[in-house]
Amino acid sequence: MRRRFVLWRETMKLLTADEMREMDRKAQEVYGIPELVLMENAGHATAETAEKLLGGKLTGRHIVVVAGSGNNGGDAFSAARYFLNAGANVKVFFAGNRDHIKASPKIMLGILQKMDALIYPLDDDHDFDRFRVALRFADLVIDGVLGTGFTGALQEKMQRVIGCINGSNGKTLAIDMPSGVETDRGTIQAACVKADVTVTFGAPKIGQYLGGSLSCGEVILDTIGIPQALIERDEIRQTLIDEALAAALLPTRTHDAHKGTVGKFLVMAGSRGMTGAAALASESALRNGAGLVTLAIPESLNAIIEEKVTEVMTLPIKDEKRGLLSGHEASDQLAEVIDGYDALLIGPGLGRDEDTSALIRGIAKRAKCPLILDADAIYAFRRHTKELKELAQVPVLTPHLGEMAGLLSISIEELRADLVNLSRQAAKAYKGIFVVKSEETIVVYPDGNVFFTTKGNAGMATGGSGDVLAGTILGLMHEMESALAPILGVYLHGLAGDLAYGEYGEGLLASDIMHCLPKARMSLRAKNET
């Protein structure tokens, strides 16, 4: 019987564009909050963020507001009024279509007109010349052009507007989403605004934690008066793995704990030239709290691995093909011992020999304990997905984008274009928990829940980092609900990477991440105690 898991509640949700629209609708229809009130609150939040971005002073500052014809533009018009009242020099440029302007933004625009605000169209070359001159002297540019509603191809005019904004000498503040970034995917079709800060409303958006994250700058959240019950509703299935969630999940070790009570784990890893992967994965499990870790290694490599690791026990496995886990004898030997462990990790550095892949599938099918499939173990199921679906457990799979694309028989580009939805489909179809590793790692459950990391850095793009992650997750699988271990494991791995980056920058090694795991855990523990 497959294990059931319960996901943590009362966490920071992430929204799709449709969920944001539904939230706005319910705020108006169920709670009776007029759209104009929400728009007014959004404008006020934008103005407050702008003031902080400009060092606490708006008086005398040159601010260029760029607005579209939708509600994002209405938010920008509202913010412009606050800027004017604070004594700023404000120029408003309308990048939308006057015939298509919505009712509430039209009211906000009308108020500005009655205040004799400087409002200019963006239609012809002359208009754009004026726009570029204004941007040259701007202390701050407000991007209120497209917001969360943008999808598909970016019109030529909008590309031109975005290019001008990005050429400004001042700072840029985006309202809700930088124009040109798709809310649900974080993809950028042709161009996008490069914001220094993005003020977002209600709850953060998926695109702010995927590909679009680099364009958002710092993300500031303001609920703009939307009732909390709407933000936290169960139908929203995207969640941030932030410090609060990670701290809540961190297991507490009792004083009477011993090595036998905090996890006895088996790692199947390593082949010729890949003993480092085996060492990193198994040692990382210990660094993240495991009591006992045994490494099943090809017999001919045992002497090498024993030179690499001291605290990890080894289990030499007969290798019919020298340096590779393969053959009936190896399979029988492993089948005899796997039931004695609390969890099993298969894959780091095992190689892609056909006989090895067959052994991997056989042991995975035999395993009854919590199971992690990494790297070459994922490859072993690439053309055998039916067997993956039939495993006795809900396995945790930790693919990078290439391994995930290979499993789904699509290109990496296709995967990137719709990462969350495709990962959801895979988790449901293959009945597994997917830890999809990229610039922003996500944890995806068969029920559709997706968790987005908030930790990690470019320095972690180094060989062996994935082996450390697999071991990090393994080390948690006895002290806590095993199905939740990937969420905490991803956070601790990213936090350890950030600590290592502070010391080594882009020159950090995977082993540096591993050695920082105890510091990461201690840091998170301290947060729980304060």
Tokens 């105690």, located at residue: 529
Range of the domain at 385: 245-250+257-529
| CA-to-CA dists, residue 272 to 141, 191, 269, 306, 319, angstroms | 57, 46, 11, 15, 11
Full-model pTM:
0.92
* Residue 176, Ramachandran bin (φ over 0: left; ψ between -120 and 50: alpha; else beta): left
292 and 143 within one domain: no
215 and 272 within one domain: no
**Gap between the Cα atoms of 282 and 293, Å rounded:** 6
In a domain, 9, yes or no: no
60 and 198 within one domain: yes
336 and 220 within one domain: no
Query: Where would I find the H helices in 409-464?
Result: 412-417, 419-430
Residues with pLDDT less than 50, the chain: 1-9
CATH of the domain at 176: 3.40.50.10260
**Gap between the Cα atoms of 212 and 373, Å rounded:** 29
318 and 196 within one domain: no
For residues 359-398, b (16+ Cβ closer than 10 Å) or e, as one string?
A: bbbbbbeebebbbbbbbbbbbbbeeeeeebeebebbbbbb
268 and 225 within one domain: no
**Gap between the Cα atoms of 48 and 53, Å rounded:** 9
How many CB atoms lie under 10 A from the CB of residue 130? 15
266 and 220 within one domain: no
In a domain, 293, yes or no: yes
In a domain, 11, yes or no: no
In a domain, 304, yes or no: yes
In a domain, 3, yes or no: no
408 and 292 within one domain: yes
**Gap between the Cα atoms of 53 and 454, Å rounded:** 22
292 and 190 within one domain: no
318 and 192 within one domain: no
222 and 305 within one domain: no
Backbone Cα Rg of the chain: 26
Q: What is the pLDDT of residue 423?
A: 98
In a domain, 6, yes or no: no
CATH of the domain at 514: 3.40.1190.20
Indicate the number of domains in the chain: 2
353 and 210 within one domain: no
In a domain, 324, yes or no: yes
* Residue 347, Ramachandran bin (φ over 0: left; ψ between -120 and 50: alpha; else beta): left
Q: What is the pLDDT of residue 10?
A: 54
In a domain, 4, yes or no: no
